[in-house]
Every structure is written in C-alpha cells, then in structure tokens.
Amino acid sequence: MSEEKKKDCKWMIFKEGITLTPSSDKTKKPHDGPAIDPEVEELAAAAYGEASGKNIFEEMAAIANVIVRQTKARGYASTTEFIANEPTFVKAAHRPSPRYTQLKKAGVDEMQADKNGMWKAVEAAKSALCEEKDYSKGAYFWDGEDFNTHYKTGSSHETVRKNSLTN
C-alpha cells in the first residue's frame, strides 16, 4: 500500500459519512455505487476465503495480517500482487474457494448487508493494511482453506479433529 493511502486509511472502506474512492475497474461490479479499493477487496476475499466460515473478525484479521507481512517479506509491491503470484500461499484465491468467489462477486451493498461475514472481512483487510493491530501476533503462516480439502472427516491429526469444518 502506498504511504499516501496509509496516512488516511478512510479511503478504503466506507461507513456513515465516508465515501470510497471508486475502483478503476468498473466492469467488475454490477452496481453503480462506490467500489472498494482493489487491494482491500482482494485481501478481504483472501481472508474471507481462508477463514473457517465462522465469521470471526479476529481470525480473518489475523489471516490478513499474515498476508500483509508475507507481502513485505517477499518484496511484493502490494498484497494483490503477492496473492496473484503465490498460488501455494493463499490457496482460497487460486482454487478458488466458494467464500472467496462470493466476496469477489459481491457489490459493496451486498458486502455491507452481510455485516457478520463479508463486511467483517473488509474491516479485517482495512485493519491489516493500515497496521492498526496485529491480530496474528507476528505469525507468518496459518492453517486455512487447505485444512478442509487435504484432511478427511475423522482425521487423526488433532488440530483437524478440533477445528475442521467437515467434522
């Protein structure tokens, strides 16, 4: 994220009385209203797609924090570039997962209507990009979408048994 955007993080998300800077890619959104910045949208979709499906803000924010940290550590200019070029890191974006696709296809109105899901992911992406708080506590990795595709119900892997959506 550019230093200019980082100084005023209101540009990324809209709440009452704040207007978003429209996305330059008008063809992606099926509505005429404001659009979310492409970097925020991509990070939100990745965090939403990688998360457990329980729509826990702190979980999505931690995933977004890790993606931002990995973006910097690997020398990418943006999280969008990182996600596009690291298919083994953010698997939800490259399969893609149903939740990733849902957020990418949604307009701002639909995201806002899903305040306990997609909008939390947008808020989590904003938090990570603005470096408001590190919910990952310095982590560089997480167990995400691949958890539910690489392990079967009844797995002997203790963490999978406790946390998998398929159990």
pLDDT tens digits, 96-147: 899 999 999 998 889 989 999 999 999 999 899 988 899 998 988 876 554 4
DSSP string computed for 63-98: HHHHHHHHHHHTT-S-HHHHHHH-TTTSHHHHTT-H
5 part of a folded domain: no
65 part of a folded domain: yes
Contacts of 156 (CB under 8 A, 6+ apart): none
97 part of a folded domain: yes
Question: Residue 75, by phi and psi: left (phi above 0), alpha (psi -120 to 50) or beta?
Answer: left
Q: Domain total for the chain?
A: 1
Q: Which domain holds residue 41?
A: 36-163
pLDDT of 92 > 70? The answer is yes
Residue pair 31/107 in contact by the 8 Å Cβ criterion: yes
Most confident of 10-14, 19-23, 49-53: 49-53
pLDDT reported for residue 164: 47
